Structure 1
Amino acid sequence: MNIPAEFNEIRPYTPEELPQIYEELIADPAFRTVVESVMPGVPFEGLAMKMRQCKTNLEFQKAFFYGLLWDLVKKTANGLTFDCSALPDLTRNYTFISNHRDIILDSAFLSILLIDKEMTTVEIAIGDNLLIYPWIHKLVRVNKSFIVKRGLNMRQKLEASALMSRYMHFAMKEKHENLWIAQRQGRAKDSNDRTQDSVLKMMAMAGEGDIIERLKELNIVPLAISYEYDPCDFLKAKELQQKRDDEHFQKTPEDDLINMQTGLYGYKGRIHFQTSACLNHELDELKKLNLPKCELFTAISETIDRHIHSSYRLFAGNYVARDLLMGDNRFTAEYTEEEKAHFENYVEQQIAKVDLPGKDTTFLRHALLTMYANPLINYLKAAKG
């Protein structure tokens, strides 16, 4: 396929480029060290040979990531389920826009779930702030990621957004790929999941016709991701206190690495992915309202949020957290005393993991309870509709 050169710096590698990238990865001692820690006892030379046999990105994903990720589910979760019954046509390509819980696993789990539905895996929007080492930069592009450039000035940001939008439309129309993008930059630290208008504005920069027609080209599907337990919850609470105590606080690359590792290997309980229907019909309805541009983007964001919020899978901990946060017993029918004690104990264990001088236990507990209560609070608001 003839891919425009303007996308060379951000797009996934093509099958023709893979052999060279494989050799660069195989020769990288840092990559070898990581592989040997993830797959102990497996000879690296054998893995290198297996890599060289993968002719496409999808073959690589199926040969390596598919099995590794399902093994990870067995070790760190109590099941991973997927409901895409709202999508009657699984042969179409979609842009999944989801809430964002885990740096790596949100899109990775989606891909293995799509494989099981005999759909193609997603091309993944990933921020370049996470590409800490050269081997990570190469591996994510083998794994069908396209790069979102961060830390730019206003003019550069506008140019980068326009380029990314053109690439997403190209990937959908010409490459016939599924796409995944988070509804906002970074994870919602308090689980109050809201779509940023700026994400939709970027997506509507390319394509044909008016804003609605451009967005319809991407076949947007809201996707709700629910984790019973978020292994990074204590790190998110810690970051909230750091930002409270220092308005100039910025996470370091090392912080991102710790979040990635904790998210991968920490306990998650039950995990559920739930799609809504493709938004194209609702976009047509919004078009009839003739809203000003800013109001239109806000209305589309709110539509996506409503679908995500109403599609959450709720667990006992969500109900316990909400009752503890509000200081009442509204949802006692949704959990047992044993489940309540278990969740309270879990919260205390997570607070104990926070390593901060001047650790504010009351603040951290409130932050953790808010994280687990917000999906229920938003679900109830969406249900009222």
Structure 2
Amino acid sequence: MKIPSQYDSIRPFEPEELPEVFERLIADEHFKDVIGFVYPDVPFDIIASKMRKCKTNIEFQKAFCYGFLKNLLAQASKGCDIDVTAVNVEKRYTFVSNHRDIVLDSALLDILLIDAGFTTTCEIAIGDNLLAAPWIEDLVRINKSFIVKRSAGMREMLAASKLMSEYMHFVISDKNDNIWIAQREGRAKDSNDRTQQSILKMMAMGGNGSVVDRLMQLHVVPLSISYEFDPCDSLKAWEFQLKRDVPGWKKTKQDDLLSMRTGIMGYKGRIHYHCAPCIDGWLQTLGTDIPKTDLFGIVAGHIDDEIFRNYRLFPNNYIASDLLEGSTRYAGAGKYSEEEKAVFENYILGQIAKLPTDNRFGVSRDDAYLRECMLVMYANPAKNHLEACSRG
């Protein structure tokens, strides 16, 4: 189909553009190095030939991403599943999820949707801050990503947000595809997942009618992502310490690349994705007299509760809660064993030990603080889940 030209700077590549982009990637030495790492036993000429045979983005995803991710899960997890009983695989949705991993949140969703019977994957919202090199932008746009502009001035950001919103509405209504977008900009480092109202405000800039009409046109599905182990937990804790101890500290692109690599390759244990019902029906129950200033907060709160209620909790979540509170409440309720507690405490110590004791900031590693930060990360999903369930 013909894509309006105003979306050219942010949209994924279309099938007719793929041959030129493939050739650009095949000629890129950095891309060759990455492929050599991912497929060490496969000659690059074979990879190049396989790429050239892909006629659509979906074909590329199935030829490369699907198998890679399945192998990755076999090596770095105890399995990954999804519950889609609340949605219709024949329909198209905007999946709004908590943000656990920079790369894998949407990548794993793609293969899970295929396995669940969806005939297409998702167009993926990705921040331009993660596009550290031209070949990375090429690769993600082949992989059905659209670009979120984050490095612009205030006026430019407003125009970019409106353009992205209009594009999202176009994807759902005209391209008949799914969308994935995180509930907030950047990961919640403490796993206290909260939907930013600014995300919803952006989504409501496109479409027609009232705010509720515009949100309904995107068919939002709150999506819960639960990890037994977060490979980046110690890196996130280290970020907390640097923000505390180094005035003006900010992440670099190298920090993002380290988090991406660690999140992809690190051990995750069990992983569960869970789709809540599409919120269209709930949105229709809202009164028409709700002030716009309140409406986005109400919608964000509903999405949050749906995500919280559908977390899958693991023994680690309960152990961390008891350790923070200095109690045995969940142990007494049979949520974990003493053996599981010992394994988790040793895991925390091992993750902290991976961090350098000396660093370019001249900051000493505060192990007690890092341990507390990591316990909070694992405890917050249990806290939010139980509170949301109590609200009904």
TM-score range, shorter chain: over 0.9
Task: Note the alpha carbon deviations across 1:259-279, whole angstroms, 9 max, x for none.
Answer: 000001100000000000000
Amino acid at match of 1:104: V
Q: Which secondary structure state, in structure 1, belongs to the residue aligned with residue 282 of structure 2?
A: helix
Task: Tell me whether 1:86 sits opposite 2:92 in the alignment.
Answer: no
Letter in 2 for 1:61: Q
SS at match of 1:207: coil
Instruction: Name the counterpart of 1:153.
Output: 153
Counterpart position of 2:349: 348
In structure 1, list runs of 5 or more residues that go unmatched.
none
- SS of structure 2 residue aligned to 1:16: helix
Equivalent-residue separation in structure 2 for 1:151 and 1:247 (angstroms): 22
Tell me by how many angstroms 1:249 deviates.
1.0
* CA–CA separation in structure 2 for the residues paired with 1:248 and 1:189: 18
- Deviation track 1:165-214 (CA, whole Å, cap 9, x = no partner) reads 00000011110010000000000000000000000000000101000000
Q: CA deviation at 1:358?
A: 1.3
- Verify: 1:35 aligned to 2:41, yes or no: no
Equivalents in 2 of 1:362, 1:157: separation in Å?
A: 40
Residue 263 of structure 1 is matched in structure 2 by 263
- Answer yes or no: is 1:362 the counterpart of 2:361: no
1:209 and 2:215 matched? no
For 1:301, give the aligned amino acid.
Answer: A
TM superposition shift of 1:247: 4.1
Q: Describe the SS at the equivalent of 1:78.
A: coil
Aligned partners of 2:32, 2:293: CA distance in 1, in Å? 49
1:212-291 pair list within 5 angstroms: 212-286=212-286, 288=287, 290-291=289-290
- Give the match's secondary structure for 2:270: strand
Give the total of aligned pairs: 383
Q: Map 1:118-137; keep pairs closer than 5 Å.
A: 118-119=117-118, 120-137=120-137
Answering whether residue 114 of structure 2 is matched by residue 108 of structure 1, we say no
Q: Which residue of 2 aligns with 1:99?
A: 98
1:225-263 Cα distance to aligned partner (Å, 9 max, x none): 001000000000000111111341110000000000000
Distance 1:108 1:263 in 2: 12
Deviation at 1:296, TM superposition (A): 0.4
Amino acid at match of 2:11: R
Q: Distance in 1 between matches of 2:343 and 2:289?
A: 51
Distance 1:166 1:244 in 2: 39
| TM-score, scaled relative to structure 2 | 0.97
Matched residue of 1:96: which SS? strand
Matched position secondary structure for 1:340: helix
Q: Which amino acid aligns with 1:173?
A: S
Q: Secondary structure at the match of 1:101?
A: coil
User: How far off its partner does 1:10 sit?
Assistant: 0.3
Q: Note if contact 2:220-2:278 (Cα within 8 Å) is conserved in structure 1.
A: yes
- Between the aligned partners of 1:118 and 1:142, the Cα distance in structure 2 is 22
Instruction: Report Cα offsets for 1:340-384 as digits up to 9, x if no partner.
Output: 000001111111112253111111011000000000000010011
Counterpart for residue 56 of structure 2: 56
Question: Which residue of 2 is the match for residue 306 of structure 1?
Answer: 305
Pairwise CA distance, 1:118:
2.5
Would you say 1:377 and 2:377 are equivalent positions? Answer: no
Cross-structure match for 1:168: 168
In the alignment, the residues of structure 1 paired with residue 167 and residue 247 of structure 2 have an alpha-carbon distance, to the nearest angstrom, of 35
Distance 1:55 1:325 in 2: 53
| CA distance in structure 1 between the partners assigned to 2:234 and 2:302 by the alignment | 30
Residue 331 of structure 1: aligned partner:
330
C-alpha separation between the residues in 2 aligned to 1:210 and 1:172? 18
SS at match of 2:234: helix
Q: How many Å separate the matches in 1 of 2:53 and 2:113?
A: 23
Shift of residue 149, structure 1, vs aligned partner? 0.7
Normalising by structure 1, what TM-score?
Answer: 0.98
Select between 70-79 and 115-124 the one with higher mean Cα deviation. 115-124
Q: What secondary structure is seen at the aligned counterpart in 2 of 1:331?
A: helix
Shifted more, 363-372 versus 245-254: the winner is 245-254
Following TM superposition, the consecutive aligned residue runs of length 4 or more in structure 1 with deviations greater than 6 angstroms are none
Distance apart, 1:289 and its partner CA: 5.5
RMSD of aligned alpha carbons:
0.8
Distance 1:220 1:316 in 2: 30
* Counterparts of 2:309 and 2:382, CA distance in 1: 9
Matched, 1:296 2:302: no
Q: Is 2:128–2:151's contact at 8 Å kept on the other side of the alignment?
A: no
Task: Using the TM superposition, give the Cα deviation of residue 151 of structure 1 relative to its aligned residue in structure 2, in angstroms.
Answer: 2.2
Distance 2:28 2:351 in 1: 36
CA distance in 2, matches of 1:193, 1:159: 27
1:13 paired with 2:13, answer yes
5+ residue gaps, structure 2, are none
Question: Per the alignment, in what secondary structure is the counterpart of residue 282 of structure 1?
Answer: helix
Per the TM alignment, residue 52 of structure 1 is displaced from its structure 2 partner at its CA by 0.5
Q: Deviations over 1:55-76 (max 9, x none)?
A: 0000000000000000000000
- d(CA) in 2 for partners of 1:246, 1:169: 42
